[in-house]
Structures are given as C-alpha cells and as structure tokens.
Amino acid sequence: MPKHLRTALAAATAAALAGGLLTLTAGPAAAAGSGLQGDFNGDGYRDLAVSAPGATVAGHKDAGAVTILYGSATGVSAGRHATFTQDTTGVQGAAETGDMFGLATSAGDFNSDGYADLAVSAPYEDVSGDADGGTVQILWGAAGGITRTATVPDPAPTKHDRFGNALAAGDFDGDKKSDLAVGTTSATLRVLKGGFSTAGVPAAKAAVKLPILGRSDAGIRTLTAGLVNGDGRTDLVVNGFQETPQGDNHYDANYYLPGSGSGPSTSGMRKLPAGIITAIGDTDGDGYGDLVTGVHWDDSVPGSTKGGKVNVIYGSASGPTSRMDTITQETGAVPGNSERGDVFGYEVSLGDIDGDGRQDLAIGAGGEDIDGVADTGAVTVLRGSPSGIDTAHGVQYFHQDTPGVPGASEKTDFFGGEVFLSDIDGDSKADLTVGASYENDGNGSVVSLLSDGSRIGTAGARSVAPSAVGVPTTGQPQFGSFVTG
C-alpha cells in the first residue's frame, strides 16, 4: 500500500523522459483571458494540470513532470496538451535527480491578466548548496497556452528545507488579487501577495508562525484554500504534525486560519480534527463553505477508524462550527465495507455536478479491493443537499470494472488515489477526473468522467496515459498523482 505522496514525498521509481520536452497542441488562441479559474489558455474552458512526480528526465530519476490537458466542449484529451519538465525550454532551472517537479501545484491568476497561472514546486531541488532547499515556479498562462515561467524568490533561504512542500492560491486579503501560500519543513507559513511581476516577484510577503512541529520530517504538509465564512476573503486550512503531550512522538493536526486584510490570520485560528487532505465548498447551499477532510488511516492515528473515513465540518459566518458528520463505508447507502487498507478518504474533492448550487463530494479509496483484486481502487460520489452531504440518495460508485469506465481493475492500480471535480467542458457542471497513479506498474493514468447535467456519467469517458502526452513509461512516473486546475 503506497503512503500518501503528499506526505511521504519520496518513493517514486523513475521513468525515462527525454530532456527538453515541450509538447504543445492547443486550439486557436483566445483574444483575451477569460478570467476563469484553471483556464491557462483563456479560451473559456477550465484545464487540468496533471503531475508525474516520479518521471525521469534525461536520465535523472524522480526529476518530475507536469502536463496541462486543455479543456474543450468535449472535455480533456491527449490531443490538446503541453508537458513541462525543468529541461523544457523556457522553464527555469534544470532537471535533477530527486527534485520531484510537480509534487505540489496550485492555480491562480498571480499577475491579474485574466489568464490562470500555475504555481509548481520542486521541493527537493538543491539550491546554491542548500540540499533540498526547494523551488517554486510560476508557469504563466497566456493565449495559446503556457510558454514561459518564472522562479519565485524564496523569502527565507536556508531557514528551512523544501520550499514549496505545499502550495495554495487564494485571495487571502480580499484585494481581488491571487496570493500564494507556501509551506516548508518549518512551522512558518510564507504568504506571497498577488500582483506578481513577470520575474515572479510578489507584491509583498508575510510570515505566519503556526503551532505545528517544524523539522526536516515535519513542517507544513498540505494547504487548502477556500471561502468558509462568507466575508470574501479566502480562508486556509494548514496540515502539519503536532507533538504529543509526552513530546516523544507526533501526530497529524489541522488548523483553520481565516482570511483578513493582511492575509491568513492566527486571530480566529482554531484546531480541527486530523486528516491529511481537505476540500472546502458549500455543500448545503447556506452561503458558507464546509470543510471535508479525509482521514484515510486505519485505527493507527487519533480519531481514525478501520478502512478510513471522511469528516464534514459545516461552516458559518464565524468559520467552522461544532457540527460535524462522519462518513465511512458503513454509512447510509455508501457502497463497500470498511476494511483495513481501503484508505477511504485518501483524496476528496468538491464540485457542483448538477448545478443546484450545492457542492457534491468525490471520495477516493485507492486501496479498495474489487472482486478480489487487491488495491485496485474505487471512487464514491455523494450529493450535496439542504442538510449537507447526502449519504442515502443519488450515491454513485466507480471503479475500472464499472461499465463505461476505461480500463480494467488490476492489482495496485490505485484508482482514486487522486480525485478532482471541475467543469472541463464548459457546461457549468463539475466533471470528475480520477487519478490511478499506480496503473500498469506505476505508469499512472487519469480517467475523465463528464457530468450529464444531473450526475456523473460514462458517456464520452476518456483515459489519458502518460505515453500519450510525452511521458515515457519506463519506471514509475506515477502520472495522475496530483491534479489541479
């Protein structure tokens, strides 16, 4: 069973990827940026950024690659894409062993030109003699797609390792510009203010000290941005380790930081139940964002349960409330059974599949066994409702033996190791993208399932393999490990 890549950050075996690769086959350029989230080429369709952090580049193992799949009226396909490595012309730096370019990504319009940009980290990059110092680059959106990048200056070099360990974009101060929150192995959050120059320099920067454990094997592990309290400023959930009262161990912790005029603030900060991956969205239509966190461990961590679970914490004008629903594979009409190693809640994502104004929930269980096939993986889709996430009605369940879903259930595919809900065909309904990062012995793949207007369907379903977008499959690139847009 693979550890969570967002926290293990180290284990991909490599693939052979030719140096200097840039494959770009996009449609006609848009006249101006659409201003749409995740629309990197400004054509009015959201795009997908798909990471292959274990890709080998010019013989450099685990150097990493990121592929942009451009959206269209029929969704995404391998036919319109661009693949980037640190050996790609226009990308800063050079591909090196173990950099893991693409291990964290986040989309936002950082220079306010109407085109979405993509922040990409290589957290294990050595920088000026600083081992694993880490770098963050911005891949600038433009008409016709991404063609240039800039390196974001590290505001505190040598004060930490793995700059870019986690990334999240949002308007944290309410000035209508995209800011970038950056995590490292330290306990200090770095916030880079929107209005970035073409050279990657932010308009301003801030540091927020957090009550988590800062050291080489800890620090900030994930960041989740979203609107919770309805004040127009993006709020943030920070995940990290926290020491036990005995001080001899550590365990997982989440903290909610509300947005403010100065950015993410510890004033109003509160601790939340544990869980690595969180999504934020309004599941009950009350105008406040709810926080959905996957607790995928078996019963080895405080608050966890056999097979994994998902916690839904409902939002309000004052932030997260005490109201919380817990979902397992024993809840309501949720398919399956809670079995050790299912990792139900390994990934979660929110999006409005039917356009009713309430966010629906996709839950990945990459370790689910299907008909005796171990760790092939499955995805559960639950609907938002006036009372929150509905576990009794309209439940959908997908795996690679589901009729119409591309592929077949094979051992350790890890289908559901990534899930992402976003509208990639322009009909204002969220579509489902599923990563199967260990498909075909670690090659990986992504499967696209479109909304039919009321639910996720299989008509027009597509699978994109790494070889189809210029990422060779020698080794284990783990294409589809992370998806954003």
pLDDT tens for 391-424 read 999 999 999 999 999 999 999 999 999 999 999 9
Which residue, 322, 261, 312, 267, is CA-closest to 289?
312
Q: Is the pLDDT of residue 16 over 60?
A: no
Give the model's pLDDT for residue 247: 61
The predicted-structure confidence for 52-63, as pLDDT tens digits, reads as follows 999 999 999 999
State the sign of the Cα–Cα–Cα–Cα dihedral 335, 339, 345, 346: negative
DSSP for 356-375, please give it: SSS-EEEEEETT--BTTBTT
pLDDT-derived band at 7 (thresholds 50, 70, 90) equals low
pLDDT-derived band at 474 (thresholds 50, 70, 90) equals confident
| Pairing mode of beta strands 179-183, 166-170 | antiparallel
Average pLDDT over every residue of 25-31 = 41
pLDDT-derived band at 20 (thresholds 50, 70, 90) equals very low
**How would you label 245-275 residue by residue, b for 16+ Cβ within 10 Å and e otherwise?**
eeeeebebbbbbbbbbeebbbeeebeebbbb
Q: Is the pLDDT of residue 12 over 60?
A: no
Tell me 153's DSSP state: P
Average pLDDT over every residue of 97-107 = 96
Instruction: Give the CA radius of gyration of the chain.
Output: 20
Q: Is the pLDDT of residue 377 over 90?
A: yes
Give the model's pLDDT for residue 66: 97
Give the model's pLDDT for residue 2: 52
pLDDT-derived band at 19 (thresholds 50, 70, 90) equals very low
pLDDT-derived band at 462 (thresholds 50, 70, 90) equals very high
Could you tell me the pTM of the whole model?
0.93
The predicted-structure confidence for 312-350, as pLDDT tens digits, reads as follows 999 999 999 999 999 999 999 999 999 999 999 999 999
The predicted-structure confidence for 177-199, as pLDDT tens digits, reads as follows 999 999 999 999 999 999 999 99
Contact, 373 vs 339, CB < 8 A? Answer: no
CA dihedral 423, 100, 67, 105 (to 10 degrees): 30
First to last CA, the chain: 27
Tokens encoding 302: 């405080």
Q: Is the pLDDT of residue 94 over 50?
A: yes
Give the model's pLDDT for residue 244: 67
Give the model's pLDDT for residue 282: 98
| Widest CA span in the chain | 61
- Choose the weakest-confidence range: 223-232, 235-244, 260-269, 287-296: 235-244
422, amino acid identity: S
Give the model's pLDDT for residue 26: 40
Tokens encoding 5: 């890549």
Q: Is the pLDDT of residue 465 over 80?
A: yes
Beta strands per DSSP E along 265-414? 270-272, 277-281, 290-295, 309-316, 319-327, 344-351, 360-365, 378-385, 388-390, 396-398
Strand order in the sheet with 65-69: 23-24, 81-84, 65-69, 48-52, 482-484
Q: Is the pLDDT of residue 248 over 60?
A: no
pLDDT-derived band at 246 (thresholds 50, 70, 90) equals low
Mean pLDDT of the chain: 91
Q: Is the pLDDT of residue 15 over 50?
A: no
433 CB-near residues (< 8 Å, 6+ apart): 48, 76, 418, 419, 420, 421, 422, 424, 446, 447, 448, 449, 483
Q: Is the pLDDT of residue 131 over 70?
A: yes
pLDDT-derived band at 251 (thresholds 50, 70, 90) equals confident
The distance from CA 377 to its chain's CA centroid, rounded to whole angstroms, is 18
